[in-house]
Amino acid sequence: MRHTFKLISILSLSVSASVFAGSLTLSSQDIAQGEFMPKAHEFKGFGCSGGDLSPHLKWSNAPKGTKSFAITAYDPDAPTGSGWWHWQIVNIPMTVTEIPTGAGNINSNNAPIGSKQIQNDYGSQGFGGACPPQGHGVHHYRFTIHALSVEKLDLPEDASGALAGYMINGHTIESNTIESLYKRD
């Protein structure tokens, strides 16, 4: 009976530790879970006339073993058969826990030093805002912070979104997502 109590106590402690352990969190001053994004985050081009600004993002409670971060922005509703990569930024130093609005513009110098922005599906490096086809309904934009187990992802200069996604997913310890919405009438 005493051994059973010990075993239950040990199991209870391990479950409690995992339940109460800090989980990676993600927040933003610009976008919110399940809410429509402001026009400032709409693409400028392809018939869209937004500000093409990446949103402010802030994260905390990185898991043990985190050596860097990556951010992805993906639209699974794009009528391509494979979704649409709006943004991938990798090799964000572990000491960085926040990026300002517009950091996805490669000319702004607001991206973290040492980070690398991957070519998006519009064909340019950096952030490309929401621009779903007119009348296509609501699209879901997944902004995800990834805590990575490596300091740097070795990607070629012209890495595709698929290759970057593969490498990010292969080294993700934990992630968290804000899914924002956008629609063009």
Helix, strand, coil percentages for the chain (3-state, nearest 5): 20, 30, 50
Does residue 5 form part of some domain?
no
pTM exceeding 0.95? no
Does residue 7 form part of some domain?
no
Domain count, the chain: 1
Calpha distance 17→22 (Å, rounded): 9
Which CATH number is 135's domain given? Answer: 3.90.280.10
Does residue 4 form part of some domain?
no
**pLDDT tens-digit profile of 4-37?**
333 333 333 333 333 334 699 999 999 999 999 9
Contact 30, 41 (CB under 8 A): yes
* Domain span at 86: 21-182
**pLDDT tens-digit profile of 118-177?**
999 999 999 999 999 999 999 999 999 999 999 999 999 999 999 999 999 999 999 999
List the single range of 1-10, 41-50, 96-105, 121-130 with lowest mean pLDDT: 1-10
Does residue 168 form part of some domain?
yes
